[in-house]
Amino acid sequence: MKSAGKKYLVAGALCLCCTLTKGEVNAASETGNEFLDMDLSQLMNITITSVSKKEQRLADAAAAVFVISQEDIRRSGVTSIPDALAMAPGLQVAKISASKWSVSSRGFAGHTSNKLLVLIDGRSVYSPSFSGTWWDMQNTLLEDIDRIEVIRGPGGTLWGANAVNGIINIITKKSSETHGGLVRVGAGDQERYQGGVRYGAKLNGSTDGRIYLTYNDRDNNTLANGGGDANDSWQSFQGGFRLDGTPRANSEWTLQGDMYRNRADQILYPYWIATSPYLTAKDSEADMTGANILGRYRRELSGGDAITVQAYYDYNDQEEHDYYQQTFKTVDLDIQYETSFGAYNSFTIGGGYRRVDGEYENSYQVEVSDTDTGDDIYSTFVQDEIKLIDDKLWLTLGTKWEHNDFTGSELQPSGRLLWKPVANHSFWASVARAVRTPSIVERKGSILAASYPLPPPYNSITGTTYIRGNKEFDSEEVVAYETGYRWQANTKLSFDIAAFYNEYEKLYQLEPVTSSTGLDFTFVNGAEGHSYGLELAADWKPTSWLSLVLTYSYLDMELSSVNSLTGQNVSESTLAIAKSSPKHQASVRTSIDFAEKWQTNLWLRYTDEIVGRDSADVLSGEIPLDGYFLFDANLIWKATDHLEIMLVGQNLLNNSQLEYISELITPATEIERSVYLKLTYNF
């Protein structure tokens, strides 16, 4: 009854807002709102770059793509990049604590989700330590983001290993688009303090620049067991700059960089010790510091050819006090050349080199056999877009060769077909192979999974169970089959649907091995299986003052794992991965300009039931989590041409909500309801 009551409450709120008469609402043009004033034919013509690594219209992409715009981010009221990603179909975004998220595409959810490649302006933020993304390190000023391109499905042909189930490319605005100043301040119960400052200007006739600072302070949440303080407060600080130049009409360059320092409180659980009581919880802290710098140069040549050169350096240091410390330094060089052969072939070729150096400080909880480790990655790719029928049918073929120090050479081919039989209708299909290369921990690490007393006569010795790395652990593989359809019904209504079937091989599995101190487990390529699903996005703008976006995702996963020696099932841990992602997800976002200078935005999300892994029993423990609704709402007043005031409520249906249980380090935490007030001043 409680759940049904929530449904009726939300439905009633949506109906009330949607039944406002046109006479009560001012047109979007009167409030200066370009988003609601833009018809959907313009939105479908948005230029994207992540699918083919060059500019193309969204309507012409032969892939499952969803674009989150700056206006989407502003109207949603989110305060972090991962929270904004929840707007995209096919992504599962669950908040674990104030500073931790699980973000995954088409399954394999987890705090250490490892099959989703994340980029910021073309710079990979994919961590080599566990093959995933530390979301608490990605805190660029939200107002500087131009768009987030979310591609579900493999992208290894262009982007390389680890783009298995999707790519997220966060693209910031050019400096020429951020002239003037911006000051943003906010405060609330959970979002205790937030602030941002940016200033941009034209530096000379061909160069623009900006600098920025951003800060967030988030309060503690609630422990799921007992309702105590989760001790997970988080403070994040980041600053940076960007310069853009156009020295000639046919060339442009970019130089940008960031520095950050974050601090988070946390409860370490399970925290194993060598003496009684062996299993404990410990109040602790985490500190993250880092910096990066990126340069890119692009020149258009005669005949439509173009060359792009990019290089970046990235440094990050993560210290989970009492658990582990790791430092990574990455140097990346990339070159790309675009050309045409006649009127029917658009050809792209490129190559790259990446050097990753890592340093570890071992502890009783986590060890790495080689505390100073490195990896050299060489790659080259080629892609040819072939026009089979003018303005109707295109075939894109490509492959990427990549060599790393762990698994040697990897080949990731793909083929894509786009058919546009008539205007505003697009059909596409693709088949691709992608790999996920092993992380350093999976090859060289040891993670303590249990500590316990041994029986006599060994009672003077503490028994341990470690999850140990395996130097023979190989890349995980997927062959993905996709198809989709886009229909621009008219200037007010559009649909985008995608279906997929993925075949996985050599997935990681934990197998038991004996050791001198007890029973250990090691990573092996012992699991396989398949997944299939459907994703839908519908965009409707019935009037100039009302916009609705509906997304829905269905996912079904079937994985199996066996002992490579005995042929028997050995663990439920990999199978639990198939249950950690919901079968059904749905989202409805409504944007309304209900009076001059006043806007409101409502966002209702549903996530189906999942199974979490008990962090104190990662080898076999499973905890069911019920499906849940999340409802956010905000009210925006554009007080003057320069000042905007926003009142935001998040998770309004619940005092607190358990969204996910981390399989690593921290106890189950419920995310509390949040209300905050934000002022943004532009000058």
195-215 tens-digit pLDDT: 999 999 999 999 999 999 999
Cα 465 to Cα 617: distance, rounded to the nearest angstrom? 11
Query: Does residue 343 fall inside a structural domain?
Result: yes
Query: CA of 424: how far to CAs of 49, 489, 548, in Å?
Result: 21, 7, 20
**Domain-located, residue 637:** no
Q: Is residue 237 within 8 Å of 289, Cβ to Cβ?
A: no
Residues 6+ apart with CB under 8 A from 376: 353, 354, 355, 404, 405
Q: Which residues pair with 550 in a beta bridge?
A: 538, 588
**Residue 513: predicted pLDDT:** 86
| pLDDT tens per residue across span 119-178 | 999 999 988 887 789 999 999 999 999 999 999 999 988 898 889 999 999 999 999 999
Please provide the DSSP assignment of 8-47 as one string: HHHHHHHHHHHT--GGGS--HHHHT-HHHHS-HHHHTT-E
Alpha-carbon distances, residue 229 vs 174, 251, 271, 397 (angstroms)? 42, 55, 18, 54
Q: Is residue 166 a part of any domain in this protein?
A: yes
DSSP H/E element including 75 = helix 70-76
Neighbour tally for 628: CB within 10 Å:
20
The pLDDT of residue 44 is 67
Residue 676 lies in a domain: no
Q: Which residues contact 177 (CB under 8 A, 6 or more apart)?
A: 146
What's the sign of the alpha-carbon dihedral 62, 578, 232, 286? negative
* Domain with 400 in it: 2-176+219-413+432-478+503-520+541-591
Whether 74 is covered by a domain: the verdict is yes
pTM confidence score: 0.91
pLDDT at 588: 98
Instruction: Give the span between the Cα atoms of 252 and 47, in whole angstroms.
Output: 18
550/495 Cα distance (integer angstroms): 10
Mean pLDDT per 10-residue interval, the chain, length 683 residues:
41 40 37 51 76 86 94 96 97 96 94 91 89 90 96 91 93 97 97 97 96 97 93 97 95 98 94 91 94 97 93 95 91 96 90 94 87 88 95 96 93 96 94 94 89 80 88 95 95 95 93 78 91 97 94 94 61 69 97 93 97 71 90 97 97 95 87 98 97
**633 lies in some domain:** no
Helix (H/G/I), strand (E/B), else coil: 136: helix
Instruction: Return the closest-CA partner of residue 378 out of 348, 351, 398, 358.
Output: 351
Residues 6 or more apart in contact with residue 679 via CB below 8 angstroms: 184, 185, 186, 643, 644, 645, 646
Residue 648 falls inside a structural domain: no
CB burial readout 289-299, b (16+ within 10 A) else e: bbbbbbebbbe
Is 237 a member of any domain? Answer: yes
Q: Taking the alpha carbons of 68, 73, 78, 80 in that order, is the dihedral positive or negative? A: positive
Note the pLDDT of residue 6.
43
Q: Tell me the C-alpha distance between 407 and 174, whole Å.
A: 38
Number of compact structural domains in the chain: 1
